[in-house]
Amino acid sequence: MPSLEWHAPPACPDSDAVGVRLRALWGEEDPGSESMGRVLGRITPRSGGWLLELTIDERGRRFVRQIRAAQCDDLADAAAIAIALAFGRELHVENGERSEPAPSRRNDSNEPDSSAANRAASEPRVSDAGASVAVPAANSGPSWLSELSFAALAGATLDVNAFPEPSPGLSLEGRARSASFAAGVYGLASPGAEARVAPGGAVDFGLLAGGVRACYLPSTGSASAAACLGVEAGQLRVNGVGLSTSRSLLDAWMAPSAALELGAPLGSVLQARMRTEGLLPLARKHYVVDGTEPVYQPPGLALRFYVGLQLATD
């Protein structure tokens, strides 16, 4: 049998489980079979299920097969079948039946058509599992590109201390993901909060910003956790209300951020997302009234909470 290298989350079958199933299909061992090829298997979570990518090196040829399944346990049997078929094995089943190889095409002289046989040998094989597709690695492109998926996120934010009072807001985000990494762009609108100034005056603060965010999502099963880094820039709006010399300001806002994000599935393509984010405002202007009365200054560390929904597409 070929050598097997297997990478999978703890909740998924390991290489021993795949090896047991493969030996059951393989039948008798061939002498020196370890030199016949190598298989690399990698399982990653996908929206509503799991993705297995098999990279198969078989006597100088390389194939990439992708198999999707709703349950991670189903991938062990599918992997064993795909590996056995890729190496041209006749599958051994419990009732002793064996699959028959396809008859060779012959030419008019009743001799085997070697060119047709060579073409058939060089073509990728497709396993009985309908979700498995074999593609020559030379034409498949980078594996991360074949795994690329996209998601749209929408939700509500709460800036705890970026303004004089906690301020709700809305956020929209588009995100692309490959394997355990994701990156996206987002927009944020927050009406801000009001700082009272005696007698009877006030200063309103609001924020309109956009940013980029990159996340690492380790494989943890159906629920997920992500560590994210990002940076946002925009405008901080400041309006004086009921003041003798009221005016409006639009000041620059820029803040790098770090966040912890949690997700829970609500369906095959829908997830609930929650995020706790810390921001470091780079411009911390001190706002005063009449040149002397202090109003507000953004903190050195701002805290923001997010709750929303994610719609993912494969």
Q: What are phi and psi of 13, to 5 degrees?
A: -60, 145
Please, which pLDDT band fits residue 267 given cuts at 50, 70 and 90?
Answer: confident
Instruction: Give me the pLDDT at residue 102, please.
Output: 41
- CA terminus-to-terminus distance, the chain: 33
Nearest 5°: phi and psi at 305?
-110, 150
Give the DSSP letter string of 212-261: EEEEE----SSSEEEEEEEEEEEEEEEEEES-TT--EEEEEEEEEEEEEE
Mean pLDDT of 269-288: 89
β-strand partners of 172: 154, 187
Which phi and psi angles does 47 have, rounded to 5°? -60, 115
pTM attached to this predicted model: 0.56
pLDDT over 90 percentage in the chain = 26
8-state DSSP, 36: G
Task: Compare 293 and 170 and report the one with higher pLDDT.
Answer: 170
pLDDT score at 27 = 66
Region 149-313: CATH code: 2.40.160.20
Q: Which pLDDT belongs to residue 232?
A: 97
Rg (the chain; Cα; Å): 29
pLDDT band (50, 70, 90) for residue 174: very high
Cβ atoms of residues 116 and 87 within 8 Å: no
- 101 in the Ramachandran plot: left (φ > 0), alpha (ψ -120 to 50) or beta? beta
According to DSSP, the residues that pair with 181 across neighbouring strands are 178, 216
Question: Which region among 91-105, 237-251, 253-267 has the lowest average model confidence (pLDDT)?
Answer: 91-105
CA angle 263, 155, 145 (to 5 degrees): 55
Among 135-139, 172-176, 265-269, the range of highest mean pLDDT? 172-176
The domain limits of the chain are: 3-146, 149-313
Compute how many other C-beta atoms are within 10 angstroms of the C-beta atom of residue 21. Answer: 18
Question: DSSP secondary-structure letter at 33?
Answer: G
Q: Which amino acid is present at 2?
A: P
2-46 pLDDT per residue, tens? 788 888 877 788 878 888 887 777 765 554 444 567 888 888 877
Weakest mean pLDDT among 93-97, 238-242, 259-263, 282-286: 93-97
- Average pLDDT over all residues of the chain: 76
Distances (CA, A) of 166 to 11, 56, 163, 238, 261: 40, 55, 7, 16, 21
Decide if pLDDT at 123 tops 50.
Answer: no
Q: Please give the residue that has the higher pLDDT: either 244 or 84.
A: 84
Q: What is the pLDDT of residue 215?
A: 95
**Both tokens of residue 34?**
């370890």
Mean pLDDT for 89-101 is 49
Q: How confident is the model at residue 183 (pLDDT cuts 50, 70, 90)?
A: very high
- What span, in angstroms and rounded, lies between the C-alpha atoms of 115 and 298? 75
